[in-house]
Chain A
Amino acid sequence: MTKLLEIKDLRASIGGKEILKGVNLVIGEGEVHAIMGPNGAGKSTLSAVLTGHPAYEVTSGEVYLRGENLLEMAPEVRARAGVFLSFQYPVEIPGVSMTNFMRTALNEKRAYEGKEPLSAKKFLQLMREKKALLELPDKLNNRSVNEGFSGGEKKKNEIFQMAMLEPCLAILDETDSGLDIDALRIVAEGVNRLKRPDNAAIVITHYQRLLDYIVPDYVHVLADGRIVKTGGKELALELEEKGYENL
């Protein structure tokens, strides 16, 4: 296995309160890891810390992305290096068009990789191609980022952005919440089609339902800031049946 992400004894707090109390996790290329756990266990904190959200303070531990010290990188550098978060609550940005937003983001990433910016024509072609993958409407280009999008459209838009940016590590934070079954299928298919032997995904979810579509290689239970149990995909079914309390 080639290590993509390595988390060692990660501790983090917000407003002086410790949320992550020593998380250890190794993710290899080509793997899908599900993280489940009760509310308040630290699932969203983990995604916020990995992406460098300024509200959280890392008090100890190390995180390496392909051997590089992730915690020393600014949030935008982590993103360019290939860490992508599908937000639980995608943010509306009135007045900033999807095209402008996406083009800026993509060209920043390309510059980081030493590539030339995409021409307007090639960029729009790519937008069209990836939108079709998520069954998103063409009119999306001129709309402001997430503004007036339905819950389902927002989540599809997250995966669309993921398709555009082709991250090596995708973190899906409760991407299934608020989705009806059709939207869930489209989103999951989108994620599955983006799977490559050299990338990986962390799927944070409350429910087994999403894992019927995005099948994990490993399921971890996060409780009170630590990973307390790890298993295969069958662990998710067991949790669904018995709940977290028996752990």
Chain B
Amino acid sequence: MRICKGDSFERVYLNEPVNLQLEQEAGSRVKIVVVDFETSNCRALEIANRITIEQQGEGCVTEIYALAWLQGTDRVTTETKVTHAVGGGRSEQLVKYVLDGQSKGRFVGELKIAPDAQEVEAHQTNRNILLSEEAEMRTQPQLEIYADDVKATHGASTGQLDESALFYMQQRGIDPGCARQLLIGAFMKEILEEACAVGGETAALQDVRDLLNAIDGVVE
């Protein structure tokens, strides 16, 4: 699919496999938010998301946010490929996983900046939290940067919930289970907020909003 000059493509995907291939013309904007988690009416997740985007015109903006909150035997794979074929563009990729039970997650993130694509700003971040011994995360960031006048960052980390934060909350009387929920919620929040910022009135977005509200504790 082509995103025409100056156009904008924004979408939120909840629990549906994403298979997108986009070519961006000059000045176009793409924002994709992928959220995968077990809602009340869904079974174990088995989802593969594939997003391929090429910036073919100058001054494009590409944003990809993905969040997977997995438990039981859930399996979610996220593959992104962002190519800056020309200069002057910006791209942002933020991928987060929370894995519990025996769930498995995988992230393959490719970022390519072509030789002539100068003055590009590109960021790729992957952060994962493992909540159980059996959960598994595989992450493969791949950066190919051929231009020299670019600003590119990437980072990938996989860890556990912050023990010192858990104790701090317990010391204030907060139940450890509740403290864990607060930390998990805090971790997921920024991507859920990105999803809500896209707007629209789909059932999927309502589920995301409900989760965000639960995290913010605004439910009276």
Interface residues of chain A, those whose CB is within 8 Å of chain B, are 51-54, 74-76, 79-80, 84-85, 87, 90-97, 100-101, 103-105, 108-109, 112, 120, 144-145, 161, 165
Contact = CB atoms under 8 A, between A and B. Distances in A.
B13 interface: no
Interface stretch (B38-46, B107-115, B138-146, B179-187): B179-187
Nearest to B164: A91
B63 interface: no
B85 interface: no
Contacts of A91: 162, 164-165, 167-168
Contacts of B220: 120
Contacts of B168: 87, 90-91, 93, 145
B159 interface: no
Nearest to A85: B171
Contacts of A161: 172
Interface of B: 162, 164-165, 167-176, 178, 182-183, 185-187, 189-190, 216-217, 220
Given A93-B169, A95-B183, 5 more contacts: A90-B168, A93-B165, A101-B172, A101-B182, A108-B178
B19 to A, nearest CB: 31
Contacts of A93: 162, 165, 168-169, 182-183, 186
Given A53-B167, A104-B217, A94 B186 contact: yes
A54 B165 CA distance: 13
Nearest to B175: A76
Nearest to B189: A95
Given A91-B165, A104-B217, A76 B174 contact: yes
Contacts of B170: 52, 74-76, 79
13 contacts: A53-B167, A74-B170, A75-B170, A76-B173, A90-B168, A91-B164, A93-B165, A93-B182, A95-B186, A95-B189, A96-B182, A104-B174, A165-B172
A48 B212 CA distance: 34
B182 A100 contact: yes
A87 to B, nearest CB: 7
B167 A75 contact: yes
A46 to B, nearest CB: 15
Contacts of A85: 171
A112 B162 CA distance: 26
A95 B173 contact: no
List the 10 shortest-distance A-B pairs measured between CB atoms, nearest first: A95-B186, A79-B173, A105-B172, A91-B168, A75-B170, A108-B173, A80-B173, A76-B170, A96-B186, A100-B217
Contacts of A94: 186
